Structure formats: C-alpha cells, structure tokens
Amino acid sequence: MLTIKNIYKSFGNIQVLKDINLSIGNGEIAAIVGPSGAGKTTLLQIAGTLEKPDSGSVIFNGTELIGMKDKKLSAFRNRNMGFVFQFHQLLPEFTAQENVALPALIAGSSKRKAMNKAADLLTQLGLSDRLGHKPAAMSGGERQRTAIARALINDPEIIFADEPTGSLDSANRKEIQDIFVDLRDRLGQTIVMVTHDSSLAAIADHIIEMADGHIISSPITQELEEQEIEMAEISPEESLSIVDSLDSGRNGSEDLIGDRVEKIRETVD
Ligand SMILES: Nc1ncnc2c1ncn2[C@@H]1O[C@H](COP(=O)(O)OP(=O)(O)O)[C@@H](O)[C@H]1O
Ligand SMILES: [Mg+2]
C-alpha cells in the first residue's frame, strides 16, 4: 500500500531522517515508536505528504507522490488519506458535525450528503448526541473521536495518527484503541500511528522502532538485512557444504543455527 524509500530530511543543519525505508501493508496497523526527537512525527508527516523530504520516494499504491504538484497532491491527500493528531485540531467555530463534514465538502460532496455522512460516522463513534456541539463544549475523548470521524469521512485508504491518545486519560485511551482495532478488523482500515502509549502500540501488526533518525527495528528491515548478510557472506557452494557439516553435527542446543541453515537452504534453492 505505502512504500517509503531512501528518505532523508534535514532541518537546517540537523539531519532528522537518515535513509528511511519502510513498507506498510494493506489492512495493517503499524506503530512507529521510539524516544522523543527520534524523527517519528517528521516521518509520519512525510509519509502523509504533509512535509516534503530532501530526497527519497513515497509510493502510494504504485503512485510516486514526491514531486507531485501541490494542488494535485492536496486533492490526492483529501481523497486517500485521513489524519488524526494529538490535539484534535478541530475548527473551534464549527460544530462536531460540520468539522467532520468539511473534508467531504472539500472533495466536492453536496452539503446534504456530507452532513448526513458526518452524522452517521459520529453516531457510529458514540457521539449521536454531540452533533451540534462545538469542540469547546466536548470532552477530550469526544473531540478525539470527532477527529477520527473527520479522518474517515472520505473513506481513506490510510489513516495517519500522531500520538492520538497522547492527551487523553486511560478510559479514553482505551476507547480510541478499541476504535482502531474495530476499524482494522471490520473495514480492513490501514492505520499508521506514532505512539508512546504501550497498550496502543500493542494492537499493532507491525512495530517500527526509531532512534536518532533511523529505523532500528522493523520486521521487514530485519528480514532484508538478514538476507543481505547471507547473500554477501557465503557463496551457494560454500553454503551447501556448511549446511552439510552443520546438519551432521546438529543437536538440540543449535536451534538458532538450525534456523539459519533453513534460510541458507531456501536461498540456495
Ligand atoms: N519544523 C521543524 N523545524 C526545525 N526542526 C524540527 C522541525 N520539526 C522537527 N524538528 C526537529 O527534528 C527532530 C525530530 O523531531 P520529530 O520528528 O518531531 O521527533 P519525534 O516525533 O520522534 O519526537 C527534533 O530534533 C526536532 O526538534
Ligand atoms: Mg512527535
């Protein structure tokens, strides 16, 4: 669904992202975790085309988004991507229903259709009695659920969420977590989130751990690295003979080696 290749980003002379490579699969929840300042928000913003990298690719269902003209990109983002931020970013002078309807209106939907769909989504998220409330008259949890409804209104292919539970108490954190699980399990919604909330991270299918502008662990990166090491170090003939010698001397304590042998066999085959 989303592939990020060789992304570099600096602010002034500080390099914030250094050769980031990442793949997000359709229907998965991915969690970007790591210490403050690691570059998580910057990566999420680049993946969501809200920020431009210095170099590299962001490929969304086969379409390269880097270099797309701003106007076309905004329209693309509006149709395909939903965003949830730590601080809801709802417009204070509009009601919940109007806030949710806004991206549909921007996409060209009629007011009637947009307002109806907004009401449906808010109802699904337990806010049927809050349609006419302005953000200031709602609780933090209600505002964040409204922000999720807004992110969903154009049926986005992907939702980006930056610390979506960062300013909530534990009951409201749990609610957001349940909503994300439900969106994935029921609708196959793809979600990429940055989070410090360990129970929210625990629902992810894919954890991307960042430190100092690098991805330090991600299942995909790890696999690639292992394969590269095997390819680089050992020729097929050599590996066959290693496999034979290891196999003959194998015992129970050598499970790790055994796994490695299996990998080499696959590579050789
Ligand atoms: N717009 C910006 N201008 C200058 N520096 C920035 C900007 N955005 C982020 N940074 C810097 O980039 C680094 C990574 O920030 P960020 O991506 O927000 O990290 P995280 O979300 O992991 O805490 C930090 O050192 C931060 O100060
Ligand atoms: Mg951040």
Give me the domain span that covers residue 162: 2-218
The predicted pLDDT at position 257 comes to 46
Q: How far apart are CA 164 and CA 174, in angstroms?
A: 11
Nearest CA to ligand 1 atom 18: 41
Ligand 1 atom closest to the Cα of residue 35 is 22
Beta bridge partners of 208: 32
Nearest CA to ligand 1 atom 26: 37
In tens, the pLDDT along 169-220 reads: 999 999 999 999 999 999 999 999 999 999 999 999 999 999 999 999 766 5
Q: Dihedral (C-alpha) 119, 124, 126, 127: value to the nearest 10 degrees?
A: -10
pLDDT of 253 above 80: no
| Distance in Å, CA 196 to ligand 2 centroid | 9
pLDDT of 84 above 60: yes
pLDDT of 6 above 70: yes
Instruction: Answer whether 149 contacts ligand 1 (Cβ < 6 A).
Output: no
Q: How many structural domains are present in the chain?
A: 1
| Distance in Å, CA 37 to ligand 1 centroid | 6
In a domain, 258, yes or no: no
More confident residue, 250 or 195: 195
Give residues with Cβ within 8 angstroms of 215, minimum separation 6. 20, 21, 22, 208, 209, 221
- The CATH number that applies at residue 201 is 3.40.50.300
In a domain, 107, yes or no: yes
In a domain, 175, yes or no: yes
The predicted pLDDT at position 254 comes to 43
More confident residue, 219 or 54: 54
In a domain, 81, yes or no: yes
In a domain, 142, yes or no: yes
Residues with CB under 5 A from ligand 2 (ion): 40-41
Instruction: Answer whether 177 contacts ligand 1 (Cβ < 6 A).
Output: no
| Distance in Å, CA 217 to ligand 2 centroid | 18
Rg (CA), the chain: 22
**Helices 111-124 + 96-106 axis angle, to 10:** 130
Q: How far apart are CA 72 and CA 247, in angstroms?
A: 58
Output the average pLDDT for the chain.
Answer: 87
pTM: 0.82
Give residues with Cβ within 8 angstroms of 222, minimum separation 6. none
Nearest CA to ligand 1 atom 4: 11
In a domain, 126, yes or no: yes
Range of lowest pLDDT (52-66, 134-148, 170-184, 247-261): 247-261
CA distances from 17 to 53, 146, 265 (A): 9, 32, 36
Nearest CA to ligand 1 atom 27: 37
Q: How far apart are CA 254 and CA 158, in angstroms?
A: 42
Range of lowest pLDDT (79-83, 87-91, 162-166): 87-91
| Distance in Å, CA 141 to ligand 2 centroid | 20
In a domain, 183, yes or no: yes
* Closest ligand by atom to 46 CA: 1
Nearest CA to ligand 1 atom 17: 39
CA angle 9, 14, 16 (to 5 degrees): 40
Ramachandran angles phi, psi of 7, nearest 5°: -80, 130
pLDDT of 5 above 80: yes
Q: Which of 11, 32, 209 to mutate to test the pocket of ligand 1 (most atoms within 8 A of CB)?
A: 11
In a domain, 253, yes or no: no
More confident residue, 163 or 218: 163
Instruction: Answer whether 253 contacts ligand 1 (Cβ < 6 A).
Output: no
Nearest CA to ligand 1 atom 16: 39
